[in-house]
Amino acid sequence: MLLPVLRRFLRPYRRDVLLVVLLQFLQTIAALSLPTLNADIIDNGVVLGDTGYILRVGGVMLAISALQVACAIGAVFLGARTAMSVGRDLRHAVFTRVQRFSLAEAGRFGAPSLITRSTNDAQQVQMVTFMSFVIIVMAPIMMIGGIIMAVRQDLGLSALLLVAVPVLLGVMVFIATRMGPLFRTIQGRIDRINLVMREQISGVRVIRAFTRQPTERQRFALANTQLRDTSLQVGYLMALMFPVVQLIINVSSVAVIWFGAGRIDSGAMEVGSLVAFLNYLMQILMSVLMASMMFMMVPRASVSADRIHAVLDTEPQITAPERPRTLPAGRMVVELDAASFGYEGAEEPVLKDVTLRLEPGRTTAVIGSTGSGKSTLVNLLPRLIDATAGSVRAAGIDVRELDPAELRARISVVPQRAFLFSGTIASTLRFARPGATEEELWQALEAAQASDFVSDVGLDARVEQGGSNFSGGQRQRLAIARALLKPADLYVFDDSFSALDYTTDARLRAGLPAATGGAAVLIVAQRVATIRGADEIIVLDEGRIVGRGTHGELMDTNVTYQEIVLSQLSAQEAA
C-alpha cells in the first residue's frame, strides 16, 4: 500500500517533486563529471607541467562543484519540505477520518492503535518519502552513469566491476532480507510497549489496590526486553554491514590499483585515468549501498502505509445524506419507533422493538438494571449509532434523512461517563456554548447544584485531562451544567445522578423544569427515587420494554418495577 498512499499524498506537491528530481539529476551528473576532469588535469596538466591548463580545468571543476552543492541544498530543502508536508497531511487525513467515525468504527481499531497510526506510522512514511527523494533518483543514475564513465576511462579495469558490484549487492541483499522482517517485528514490539505503558498509567489505581506492581513490572520488563533483543539483532546486522562494505570497497580499490599499476607500467593506461576510475568505483559502490538501505526501509514503511490506509479506507457508517432534510423551527418531538439495535458480531440485539415518544415539557424516565440497554437507547437519539431495525424520528423525520450535525445541535446529552476537557471550569463549560456569559455559567452551575463547590475554587480553577482532579459527583455536576448551557429541544441524562447523594439529587431534579425551559427531558437511572416524579416511566429489561406508566401505575401493575422498588427500599432500610 506504500505506493498508492504516496501517489495520493504526493499529488499536491507534484511541482516540488519534479523539481527535486531535476535537481538530483543535475547534482548526480555534476558528481559524475568531476573525476573525468580530474583525470584530465593529472594527465594533461600535472604530467605535462601545464599550469594554465590546471587552472582552467580546475576553475571549471570549482564551478561544477558549486553547481552540485547548490543543487544538493535545493533538493534536500525541497525534499524535506515535501516529506514533512506529506507527514502532516497523513496525520490530518487520519484525524479527520477518525473524527467522522461512529462508535462502531472507532471501536474496531481501538484508541491506542489509532494514535500510533496517526503518529508513528505517519512518521515512517514521511521518513521513507524523504529518503526516496535523496536516493531513488540519485542511486540508479549514479550507478549506471558511473559504470559508463568507468568503462570510458578504462575498459580493461572495468572487468573488476563485474566482481565488486555483484559481491556488494549480494552482501546487501543478504543483510536487507534479514533486516526487513526484524523491522516488522520491531513495529509490533513498540505497539506492545505502548499498550503495556498505557495500561500501567491509566490503571495505576487498580494495580496498586491489588498490589500487582511486581507482576506488572515483569510484564513491562518482558515487552521491553523483547524490543531490546530484536533491536540488538538489527544492531548486529548493522555492525556487520559497515565493515563488510568497507572491506569490499577497500579490496576493490587495492585490486584497481594493483592491476592499474601494471597497465600504466605497460603504457596501456594513464595515471589520471586510474584516479578517475577509483573515484567512479567509489561512486558506484556507494550507490549500491544507498539503494540497499532503501530496500531495508521500504518494508517498514509499507507496514505503516498499510496501517494508515486501513483507517483512511474505512467508511463511516453514519454520514449525512446527499440532500439532507431540515428540521422545522420550534420544539421537536423525538420518537423511537419499534427500534432495535444489535452490536456488530453479537448474536442477540441489545435493544428489541423499543417504542417511545419524548415530548416537549414532559419528563420521561427509563429504568433498568445494568446491561439492560439504557445507554444504547440514549446513543440512538443523537444518532451516534443507527437502529438496526425500526427507526428514530425527530419532528416526524427519520434521523437518517437529516444532517447529523443539525440533529445533534438540538439534543443535549450528559453521557454516563462524564468527560470533561482540560482547561478551566469556565472553558470546559463553554464547550457547550462558547459565548456564554459568566452569569449564564453560574446559572447553569446553580441548576446543576455545582455552584457551592465551584464558588470555593472559582470559575478559573484548573480542570485536568478528563476532569481527574474532581470527584465523581463533582464531575457529573459539571457535565450536567455544561449540558444545561446548551439550548436544546431534548435533554438526556444518562445515569447522571448516580454519584449524587439523595438530597442533591432531589434538589437538582426540582430545578430541572426551569433549567430546561420546557424542552423534553429523558432521565435514565437505576434509582427509583430519581425517577418517581417522571410523567412516564419506562421499565427496560434485557433490551425490551416490560412496563410503562407513572410510578403509581407501575407500583400497582408491574412486577419488574415492584421488584426494583422493593430491592432498593430494603437496601435503604438496611443502610
Binding residues (CB under 6 A) for ligand ADP: these are 107, 343, 346, 350, 368, 370-376
* Contact map string, positions 335 to 374, toward Mg ion, x by CB under 5 A: ---------------------------------------x
365 binds, among ligand ADP, Mg ion, none (CB under 5 to 8 A by kind): none
Reference 313, options 102, 97, 123; nearest CA is: 97
368 binds, among Mg ion, ligand ADP, none (CB under 5 to 8 A by kind): ligand ADP
Nearest-approach distance from CB 106 to ligand ADP, in angstroms: 10
CB-wise, 301 or 534, nearer to ligand ADP?
534
CB-wise, 321 or 371, nearer to ligand ADP?
371
Distance CA 153, CA 160 (A): 13
CB-wise, 133 or 497, nearer to ligand ADP?
497
CB-wise, 10 or 540, nearer to Mg ion?
540
Q: Collapse the DSSP code of 394 into the 3-class scheme (helix H, G, I; strand E, B; otherwise coil) and give the result.
A: strand
Nearest-approach distance from CB 542 to ligand ADP, in angstroms: 9
Burial class (CB in 10 A: 0-12, 13-18, 19+), 365: buried
Distance CA 352, CA 389 (A): 9
Distances (CA, A) of 517 to 107, 185, 328, 370, 415: 36, 59, 19, 30, 20
Polymer length in residues for the chain? 575
343 binds, among Mg ion, ligand ADP, none (CB under 5 to 8 A by kind): ligand ADP
CB-wise, 350 or 447, nearer to ligand ADP?
350
CB-wise, 56 or 108, nearer to ligand ADP?
108
Handedness of CA 158, 162, 164, 166 (dihedral sign): positive
Interacting residues with Mg ion between 240 and 259 (CB under 5 A): none
- Of the candidate residues 113, 120, 375, 498, the single one contacting Mg ion (CB under 5 A): 375
* Contact map string, positions 404 to 423, toward Mg ion, x by CB under 5 A: ------------x-------
Q: Taking the chain, what is the end-to-end CA distance rounded to the nearest angstrom?
A: 62
Closest residue to Mg ion using C-beta atoms? 375
Nearest-approach distance from CB 525 to Mg ion, in angstroms: 10
Q: Collapse the DSSP code of 402 into the 3-class scheme (helix H, G, I; strand E, B; otherwise coil) and give the result.
A: strand
329 binds, among Mg ion, ligand ADP, none (CB under 5 to 8 A by kind): none
CB-wise, 364 or 376, nearer to ligand ADP?
376
At residue 414, φ and ψ (nearest 5 deg) are -100, 110
What would the DSSP string read from start to end of 354-375? EEEEE-TT-EEEEE--TTSSHH
CB-wise, 56 or 417, nearer to ligand ADP?
417
372 binds, among Mg ion, ligand ADP, none (CB under 5 to 8 A by kind): ligand ADP
Cβ–Cβ under 8 Å, residues 483 and 432: yes
Nearest-approach distance from CB 495 to Mg ion, in angstroms: 5
Distance CA 476, CA 490 (A): 19
The per-type count for the chain, helices as H runs and strands as E runs, is 21, 12
Q: Which residues bind Mg ion (CB under 5 A)?
A: 374-375, 416
